[in-house]
Chain A
Amino acid sequence: MIKRVVALTVLEMALFGLSLFAGSPFSGSWTSEVELQPGTNAFKSLDSLFKVNYSFGSLVSASDSEVFLPGGFIWQGFGVTGKLGPLSVQADLLFGPSTNDFVYAQEIFSLSLVGVDLGVYWATLSGVVLGGPADGFALRVAGSAGSVKAVSVTEFGARIQDEDVDGITIVHATTGRRRSYLTNPLVRIETPPVYGDGRTGEKITVSGFASGCVENIATTVYLTEAGFDFFKITLAGIELGLSWLEFDLTATFELQTKSVAMAPTFHLGTTTCLVPYVEVLTDAPDHTLYPPFTSFTGISLYGIGLEYSWGGVTVKDLTVFDTGRYAITTPEYGSVIEEIAEALERGHDVTADTWELFSVEVSVDGCCGGASRLLVNTYFQKGAGGAFGWGMTYAEATAGISSGISLTANVELKTTGLDHFGLGVEAAW
């Protein structure tokens, strides 16, 4: 008991100490959660993220530290962002203290001159990372004339994140903790030499054309050191004369294949709180537009969403009719219905086999200027043994005890019993 009182006192003193930084060039946050073993309440894990920013002139330097116990001191990141005259600067460094390793670094310089944006992206990946060591850079030039915008990215052993490619995500294999950055020096080439010289890729995108029934036409061509890679044309907002239906069409031509993706957008009005999730069906297997596609055969309703808010209370209900292809994302990713393959591609976590989610969220003003929130999500799942197919309930509570400090608790209850129990604190100054 005495130990708990001492620990609580130390915690309160630490939080008070952090609040003293308010108004100084220092700002930051500390988020920490302790997970306890269900049943025994014994310690299971501690995830603590401590961020400190320091402003000087037009620059902000940052430090973020993540400790995950029993994994150890997983990440230590340092960064600088800001402007030096017309030059924008961003630099990031990542270390793995648990293994005493330098892991990754990137630098981004960008400059706007007479309507033209110039950017240099450079990154290096340490050999302690599987796939490393690697380094490279990319030059980005963008400009516009009227509504037409052109972007050129020249790759010298590195790619930068855009709508076609991801940046880089570095994962600590033991704990699964990750860090993501914009510049990826892991460029796979046909016959990889250890060192290379010169260009590994060139991507040119021109967008902003409009014509009659199409809102925006964009084209992208990508060439690698091996030659032509792909040509993509996107027609966004194709009107068919129906006020409630629009299509986006993307055709991608590769050296030996061609793919067409069509995304329908249904305009069903903004006054309704009922959201239907629909897809277009074709006569091809999996209802794709690939051969042997010849015609559209109908429209399928694969889910329904209902959401209503009043007086700080939000009630949400999602129903999935095709749990084989669609799933509900976790609260962290917005609790929406998403195609499973797409969710995996985007790195979104989903709750598998859920055919119904009933969610209640209550937000109220807490004491002393803080805000409090309670979220209860109840999932009904295929094959679950609970009443009416109940599979899991997730509850998360946040109690604001001041404008900058709040306490959190979350539990996950499954048919097998209590599966997760965590307590945490969040402080910002």
Chain B
Amino acid sequence: MKAGPGRSISRNGLIDGAVCGSFARERSVRARVALLGLLAGGVILGLFACTGSWFTTPGNATLIVGTPILAGGKGEVLVSVANMPAGGLASIAVDDLGITHTNIAPASIRATGLNGFTVLAQDFATTPGKGRLVAVNPTSGSVGGTILKIAFNTSGETPTFRIQSEDKGKVTLGSALNTLIATWELGTTKAYYAK
């Protein structure tokens, strides 16, 4: 008799029964696990193939102004975008009175561009509680991500920093393809965005 897989031969040429049994059990367990895995995979594939259903929501271009994060009399607000079309957002201009803020020291407000954006001009001191700024990304567009950081000193409790949602005419968004992004919305209700 020849020794096959899972069998061993002792010195006298007989098959070692104990070792043979151990191998057999191990093979049996492996085979069961493999079968279980195949079965699970088959069920999953089968279920998916049967249904094939999915769910999606239209993604609108959105400008998101985060809520202020505060510590030690100072605060920061992040401005982000999501689902921007035409190669992404490349410029943003917020006209006078387009930004409103409360309980923030106007002279301390400093907008900084992030992820390729540069702030060309900003003014938060001319009109009390109001502000304006212009920022561009000269090299590419941002389809989704953070574009501006607004840092400030607080002058009272619960400071707010908002871009007015009721008058989008004061906000102009330009795309990386040098076109105006006319259809967009202000994201104020959701804490997260995806890109």
Q: How far is the CA of A158 from the CA of B56 in the complex (A)?
A: 9
Interface flag for A44 (CB, 8 Å): yes
Number of A residues contacting the other chain (C-beta, 8 Å)?
Answer: 73
Instruction: Kindly name the residue among B37, B73, B146 whose own CB sees the greatest number of chain A CB atoms within 10 A.
Output: B37
> Known contacts A37-B72, A99-B191, A130-B192: does B53 contact A197 (CB below 8 Å)?
yes
Interface of B, helix, strand, loop or mixed by DSSP:
mixed
Closest to B195 in A: A169
Note all chain A residues with C-beta closer than 8 A to B195. Answer: 168-169, 171
Any chain B CB within 8 A of the CB of A162? no
Is there contact, CB below 8 Å, between B41 and A196? Answer: no
Pair A85/B52 contact, Cβ less than 8 Å? no
Bound form: Cα–Cα A86–B33 in Å: 8
Task: Check B53–A120 contact: CB distance below 8 A.
Answer: no
Interface residues of B in 22-56 (CB under 8 A from A): 30, 33-38, 40-41, 44-45, 48, 51-56
Q: Given A99-B191, A174-B191, do A84 and B54 touch, yes or no (CB 8 Å)? A: no
Contact A109 B59 (CB under 8 A): no
Given contacts A173-B190, A173-B192, contact A70 B70 (CB under 8 A): yes
- Our pick among B55, B118, B145, B193 for the contact of A131 (Cβ within 8 Å) is B193
Q: How far is the CA of A189 from the CA of B57 in the complex (A)?
A: 10
A-contacting 9-mer, from B2-10, B12-20, B74-82, B92-100: B74-82
Within the assembled complex, what's the spacing in Å between the Cα atoms of A347 and B115? 8
Is A252 engaged at the interface, CB distance under 8 Å to the other chain? no
Give the interface of B toward A (CB within 8 A). Answer: 30, 33-38, 40-41, 44-45, 48, 51-59, 62, 64, 66-67, 69-74, 78, 80, 82-83, 115-116, 118, 137-140, 142, 144-146, 187, 190-195
Can you report 13 A-B residue pairs in the complex whose CB atoms are below 8 A from each other?
A44-B72, A70-B71, A99-B191, A134-B57, A139-B48, A169-B195, A171-B195, A173-B78, A173-B187, A175-B66, A175-B78, A188-B56, A344-B140
Query: Taking beta carbons and an 8 Å cutoff, which residues of A are in contact with B?
Result: 37, 40, 42-45, 69-71, 84-87, 96, 98-99, 101, 103, 109, 111, 118, 120, 122, 125, 127-137, 139, 156-158, 168-176, 184-189, 192-200, 324-325, 340-341, 344-345, 347, 349-350, 352
